[in-house]
Every structure is written in C-alpha cells, then in structure tokens.
Amino acid sequence: MKPIVNDSCIGCGTCESICPEVFKMEEKDDRIIAVVKEADYALHKDKVDESIVACPVQAISWEE
C-alpha cells in the first residue's frame, strides 16, 4: 500500500511536519501541495496514519 494525496490538499504542511520521511511540500500549478516521496511506507505506517487523521481536509488516504 502507498499513501496518496488528492486534489483537495490545501498545502497546510501538517503531514510533512508529522512524517517528513514520506510527505513533502512542493509547488505545482502555482500552489503548494503535499506530495508523497519514495519511502518504505510500511516502516512509517503509524506516522502516515497519524497524518491521515490530522489532515484538515481529508486529502490523504491509502491506495490499495
């Protein structure tokens, strides 16, 4: 499984602050959004799950 960030991301940076091993903020199409880095997602599962819960717009989920 891999985390994904959908188009509702508002670029708040919460996910990056919780789990910088997986998420980073980048400029895309003239706005700042979270993107998923290549990482061992299973190793960081707890922090990714915390990021999913903390996201104010529910922009993060697990891709099956």
- Exposure of 1 in the CB half-sphere (CA atoms within 13 A): 12
Q: What is the mean pLDDT of the chain?
A: 96
| Backbone φ, ψ for residue 44 (5° rounding) | -105, 20
Give, as one character, the DSSP assignment of residue 1.
Answer: -
pLDDT at 24: 98
- Fold exhibited by the domain 2-63: Alpha-Beta Plaits (3.30.70)
First to last CA, the chain: 5
Cα–Cα distance for residue pair 48/36, rounded to 1 Å: 10
pLDDT digits (tens, 9 = 90+) for 20-48: 999 999 998 899 999 999 999 999 999 99
CA 9 to CA 39: how far, in whole Å?
20
pTM recorded for the entire structure = 0.93
13 confidence band (pLDDT: 50, 70, 90): very high
